[in-house]
Structure 1
Amino acid sequence: MSQDADPTTTPYRPRPTLHDVAAMAGVSIKTVSRVVNGESGVTEAKVAAVRKAIHQLDYRPNVSAGALRRANRRTSAIGMVLEDLANPFSSALLRAVEDVANQRQVLILAGSGDEDQDRERALVRAFSERRVDGLIIAPVGEDQGYLRTEMEAGTPLVFVDRLPQGLLADSVLSDNEGGARAAVHHLADAGHRHVAYLGDLQIIPTAQQRFAGYHRACLERGLPWTPSHHLHDLHTVDEATEATIRLLGSDEPPTALFASQNLVTIGAIAALQQLGLEESVALVGFDDFPMADLLKPRVSVIAQDPFQIGRVAAELLFQRLDGDLGGPRRLVLPTTTIPRGSGEIPPRTRR
């Protein structure tokens, strides 16, 4: 390898600037700016010279600086703070927003909040410093009041999956309580009376709503209320696996499981497989996930529609950017029960 091609010896070269383009093209900086911004009043010969210089120098305009000069100060970028971009729910939601944004040639900047309010605030601050046009947030913690300054500055906010706390703003949610009720009713219809609840962190509003739906359905169907069958704060696959193994090894094991989050569902499946009970203990999970219909038995779920949530949230945000000044909206989207096999297993005789 020659010295010129060795990245360890190649000297650092700063990015080319408007001045560099102007010097190579033999025109003024103002002329280069007009060409870059697509303005009229520049001769064809100068346009060609500027474009040639841009190509040769690989010049890249500063989008943020250009936005500050435009009348509407738009950057054509939206910031998104989601729970965990690695989670299928978050990634599907992000993709739906991206699809809508692409139609408007708007860029998406996204990060994971990781159930950490400090992380949420840091991401919001970073996106705001980059002058994003709007924010879509899956809120964390008990206070989103700090975002009031963003709203007062004219930045549209749309919250997804969870309601903001301490702030009135647009939100797009799933019917968490109704979906949980449907799961328990589905298991009760299969003959189960001992249905356990496997829940996410109790501080998460959606987990609270799903447990409330579970509770309500148990009352509606007259099912025994057994606190030892209520497992909370299972936030990872491993935690859910270990807790489910302990539950099913107890003196009074349930005959059916309701897992209130997709990672918890995966952990419960792992436990059932380790114990050889996947064909004996019924399971319904809240949230669909990849491969759920390829397992044996196939996994019955209460499905949210993250693509629809993302699409509706993006369209609502763009309506605000287009000048809609109406009051805050709360849109609740229904869930769907998908019976695939695991939720239809009849109860076995309890030992």
Structure 2
Amino acid sequence: MSAHSDSEPALTMRDVAARLGVSPMTVSRALRGQRGIGEATRQRVLAEVAALGYRPNKRARELRSGGPSELIGLVVTNLANPFYSQLAVGLEQICVSYGARVMLGSTGEDPATERDVVADLVDRGVDGLVVVPAGHDHGHLGGLRDVPVVLAASPPMGIDVDCVLVDDFGGTRDACRRLVARGHRRIGFLGLPPSLWTGSERFRGYAVALEEAGIALDERYVSQHRGDSGLAEEAARAMLALPDPPTALLTANNRNTVGALRALRDRAPDEEPVSLAGFDDIELADMLHLPLTVVSYDPVELGRAAAKLLFERQASTVPQPPRRVTIATTLVDHPAPR
């Protein structure tokens, strides 16, 4: 086929990709000689580009991204949570090796805002998305043309995409088992909304550990709300004010752990000590005034794994079933300073 004349509409990278049955990112990598695609695919792209007379609009890409790089969108729920900054570090480490840059958007844990943020990133021309979803409805992520999506910290609901998870159930069960092994029978749980995967799975780990130990679940010792340290502190104080308060607290994320620590800080010296265990490690945990057991994992590895899935999906020229990667957890005991 001969090159387009000046009167014909200009070819786009998406046009070339559609003719070859590959992704626009695959075409982009072939043209720039980047890693991530096979040599046979590279040669097929270059041959088609030559036949069509396609010339990439380099100036448009540079204006779009600030340089000759691909763009990967990262959508998170709460920028105040250190978990997401570490996830972003891991994502960026892999993106840099592919010549890509990361564009960040935050939803404030609001599903409607998530839709707007995703739409804005797609309009800005991102080549892929890593999304920590704000709710359980992921349908709006299933129809993004030529933009692959990887979910982080939640499995897909109603769409077929790759995901990277933390062992939320196993980690929480292990932490609750540790408290039970130390003799605790009244264990308060400062959880997350049950509509979230992390919320439901971490509560399930807590409930299963109690059931295994023959301990009846007492609703007075359960609070499930969005990860906010102020709400967690309020819930912890309410539990500790009960006639038969919990002797241990188990928190579902680092923000809830901070709230629990604030509630415990004001207890009188003659009051019964309350043990604390929480999901997510927190900075300076080893310098606290009380012992703390944390469910630890590597959020940087979570970001790296999400990026690898994304680039592997882009490089694939044949349909593949959705993949799931689970990041393992470990228990870490931080004893109180002597």
When normalised by structure 2's length, the TM-score is 0.77
Pair 1:316 & 2:309 matched: yes
> 1:299/1:230 Cα in 2 relative to 1: closer, same or farther (>3 Å)?
same
Q: Secondary structure at the match of 1:250?
A: coil
C-alpha offsets along residues 200-249 of structure 1, whole Å, 9 cap, x if unaligned?
22322211111111111101111232111111215311111111112111
1:237, 1:224 → 2: CA distance? 27
C-alpha offsets along residues 277-298 of structure 1, whole Å, 9 cap, x if unaligned?
7981100001112222221225
Query: Unpaired runs of 5+ in structure 1?
Result: 1-36, 39-59, 68-73, 343-351
1:304 positional shift: 2.8
Counterpart pick for 1:177 among 152, 158, 169:
169
Pair 1:339 & 2:337 matched: no
Please provide the CA RMSD for this pair.
Answer: 2.3
C-alpha offsets along residues 143-175 of structure 1, whole Å, 9 cap, x if unaligned?
21122221xx22211100012221111000011
1:261 positional shift: 1.2
Counterpart pick for 1:230 among 193, 217, 222:
222
Match of 2:122 in 1: 128
When normalised by structure 1's length, the TM-score is 0.74
Match of 1:87 in 2: 81
Q: Answer yes or no: is the 8 Å Cα contact 1:79–1:110 preserved in 2.
A: yes
Amino acid at match of 2:134: V
> 1:66/1:225 Cα in 2 relative to 1: closer, same or farther (>3 Å)?
closer
Q: Answer yes or no: is the 8 Å Cα contact 2:75–2:131 preserved in 1.
A: yes
Amino acid at match of 1:202: P
Q: Determine which structure has more spread, i.e. the larger CA radius of gyration.
A: 1
1:183, 1:101 → 2: CA distance? 34
Q: Secondary structure at the match of 2:266?
A: helix
1:91, 1:276 → 2: CA distance? 36
Deviates more, 1:226-235 or 1:277-286: 277-286
Pair 1:97 & 2:91 matched: yes
Counterpart pick for 2:148 among 156, 176, 184:
156
Q: Answer yes or no: is the 8 Å Cα contact 2:142–2:160 preserved in 1.
A: no
Q: Answer yes or no: is the 8 Å Cα contact 1:173–1:331 preserved in 2.
A: yes
* Shift >6 Å, 4+ stretches: none
Q: Answer yes or no: is the 8 Å Cα contact 2:175–2:293 preserved in 1.
A: no
1:341 positional shift: 2.6
1:64 positional shift: 5.7
Counterpart pick for 2:261 among 261, 269, 285:
269
Match of 2:112 in 1: 118
Match of 2:6 in 1: none
> 1:80/1:66 Cα in 2 relative to 1: closer, same or farther (>3 Å)?
closer
Counterpart pick for 2:249 among 254, 257, 262:
257
Match of 1:245 in 2: 237
C-alpha offsets along residues 34-90 of structure 1, whole Å, 9 cap, x if unaligned?
xxx99xxxxxxxxxxxxxxxxxxxxx95426689xxxxxx96000010121221111
1:201, 1:149 → 2: CA distance? 27
> 1:97/1:276 Cα in 2 relative to 1: closer, same or farther (>3 Å)?
farther
Q: Answer yes or no: is the 8 Å Cα contact 1:181–1:217 preserved in 2.
A: yes
Q: Answer yes or no: is the 8 Å Cα contact 1:139–1:163 preserved in 2.
A: no
1:113, 1:321 → 2: CA distance? 25
The percent identity for this pair of structures is 35
> 1:86/1:212 Cα in 2 relative to 1: closer, same or farther (>3 Å)?
same
1:275 positional shift: 1.7
Match of 2:20 in 1: none
Pair 1:143 & 2:137 matched: yes
Query: Unpaired runs of 5+ in structure 2?
Result: 1-30, 33-57
1:235, 1:103 → 2: CA distance? 33
